[in-house]
Structure 1
Amino acid sequence: MLKTTTRKYEEIFVTHLSNGSEVSLPVHTITGERSGPVLGLSAVVHGDEIIGSEILRRVYDRLDEAELAGSVKIMPVANPLAFESMTRNTPLDMNNMNRIFPGSAGGWVTEQISHKIATEFLDTIDAYIDIHSGGAQPVVDYVYIQNDEELSRAFNFPVLYRPKTLYEGTTVTYTVEKDIPSVTVEVGGGPNFEKDIERGVEGIFNCMRKLNMLDGEVTPPPEQKVMTEIQIIRPKQGGLMIPEYDYSAVGTVIEGNQVLSRTYNPRTFEEVEVIKAPFEKNLVILMRGSFQKVNPGDYGFMLGNMDTRELD
């Protein structure tokens, strides 16, 4: 006998704000007609990384329960307080939620949110994909290799990153510790191009085929570069930044120590900083590709060293 096909929406209650309004976490559950694993999908762990919410909305709209084996749990807004303020960190306590998992039921509000995500969402799934982006300004493009390389490769992005150590306190360090196959995706940001949204949707569907949750052949990946060394460049000086390259440079290689951007003081017009590429062969992974304001310490660029990439 076939399982009952369902779509269910619920909200996981976390707490009340001082004004009396609730803080809750939205979860859509789609249950297929055949048995299979439970896949968790989340986005907006950082509040300024909104592209993931649209990617998950399109997955929700296009997924056919009649073709689905198992179930999919979708959390499109994992940090509603940071989402409201369009900030990376939660404005009430300024914590970065993706550094404090599994949180605490009696901690800061960000810890309370992450505790609920860990215990009532992540603890209920068999595989996991977490969608991140460059944020409100930079654009980024790569997939982490965590504890399931084939699943990470199945997202079919051209650049993968095998870090020597994982960030502590992320959603994925929590799921990896529980042996849940996990993928962290970094896509889009800034303009949030349509092509990046669609690549995210197709990546999820291809991973679902890889997990045997959907029928059909797994689309083979394009030629993929596995990076082992990525340098994050943060501006030391704030001001108005003029980049030397636009967003089309993401995924390309810049030869030599070329100038990436120039920053000037908007009051005095003085040039206060010139940022140059650090390697001989620089794979552009994250960048600011339009004229914009920067503060010291912002994410400016992420460049991969092509000379230390893994070779097939």
Structure 2
Amino acid sequence: MNAAARTYREIPVTHLSNGMKVTLPLHTIYGKKAGPVLGLSAVIHGDEIIGAEILRRVYERLNEEELSGTVMIMPVANPLAFESLTRNTPLDMNNLNRVFPGDPQGWITEQMAHVISTQFLDKLDAYIDLHAGGAVPIVDYVYIQNDEALSRAFNFPVLYRPSHPYEGTTATYTTAKGIPSVTVEVGGGPNFERDVERGVSGIFNCMRHLKMLPGDVEPAPKQVVMTEIRIIRPTQGGIMVPAFDFSAVGSVIEGEQVLARTYNPQTFEELEVIRTPYKRNLVILMRGLLHKVNPGDYGFMIGNLDTAEEE
């Protein structure tokens, strides 16, 4: 298309046993001028719903008359997991973000991954994938994949350069194809308005960086690149009582301190005490509300500031 325009289609995947179609939503916004194709996706994990709202606002505010290039938006990449508000697809309990590029003859999760790969990711020149802490925790950082400048342009204060990236993600698929890719972890739990707007602002700033929108790229705040992050999962289920509220995300906790205590709701026995693992602990993901917790849930993600790349 040469003229500015918008289209919407639902890409077929399969049918459920009750006859209902499983489809994937795809909005395409064609700019007035030539430029790259940028892909935006969210809700690959069904309990990370903040990304869908971020992309809705991007869709509403984007002016195709000013746009150079094309934006493809997949706001709900796993509609089955979204319906059940679960991280994994409920029909086969597979994690969609571990099975790319998928398999058209495989599990339903693998079938969705195959359709996303061939009908969406293969068409892109740049890619931003939105994730969150889930239904309870909140999180705040941006992965450095294969384009550090693009990741930095999202303007989050914390970035992460993993030594061993997860296999089977959308980003490992796109980076293998040489597509500049950014994975964003923002919000979750309460889905604060502040985090929604930070996500919208980050996407528009990345688009200016890609020269898809006019205007200067907003300079990044002081940024720190983490190279070591400890994922802390409770080993005991029960009621978790955090020692800090959500305002601790992004803050530094010095020395060994208690992060949370878990109690047996029936006997009142203290089952577990979770503590900070490093001398200088940067809080990246946390549970900031009293809540039920299962053994093995995401509890906290703590970065080691002593091994970080600080500016």
Structure 2 match to 1:132 = 131
Structure 1 match to 2:209 = 210
Q: Are 1:6 and 2:5 counterparts?
A: yes
Distance across 2 between alignment mates of 1:165 and 1:238: 29
Q: Per-residue deviation at 1:39?
A: 0.2
Specify the code of the residue in structure 2 equivalent to 1:47: G
Specify the code of the residue in structure 2 equivalent to 1:142: Y
Query: Which one is further off, 27-36 or 2-11?
Result: 2-11
Within 5 Å, which residues of 2 pair with 1:1-312?
3-312=2-311
Specify the code of the residue in structure 2 equivalent to 1:12: I
* 1:137-169 CA distance string (max 9 Å, x none): 000000000000000000000000000011000
Distance across 2 between alignment mates of 1:189 and 1:65: 30
* 1:154-197 CA distance string (max 9 Å, x none): 00000000000110000000000000000000000000000000
CA RMSD of aligned residues (A): 0.7
* 1:223-258 CA distance string (max 9 Å, x none): 001000000000000000000000000000001110
SS in 1 for 2:309: coil
Specify the code of the residue in structure 1 equivalent to 2:88: N
SS in 1 for 2:281: strand
Q: Per-residue deviation at 1:310?
A: 1.0
Aligned length: 311
Q: Per-residue deviation at 1:5?
A: 1.3
SS in 2 for 1:150: helix
SS in 2 for 1:9: strand
* 1:74-107 CA distance string (max 9 Å, x none): 0000000000000000000000010000000000
Specify the code of the residue in structure 2 equivalent to 1:218: V
Specify the code of the residue in structure 2 equivalent to 1:57: R
Distance across 2 between alignment mates of 1:3 and 1:113: 31
Q: Which runs of 4+ in 1 moved over 3 A?
A: none
5+ long unaligned stretches in structure 2 = none
Give the TM-score, by structure 1 length. Answer: 0.99
Distance across 2 between alignment mates of 1:29 and 1:3: 13
Distance across 2 between alignment mates of 1:263 and 1:155: 36
Q: Per-residue deviation at 1:311?
A: 3.5
* 1:106-143 CA distance string (max 9 Å, x none): 00000000000001100011000000000000000000
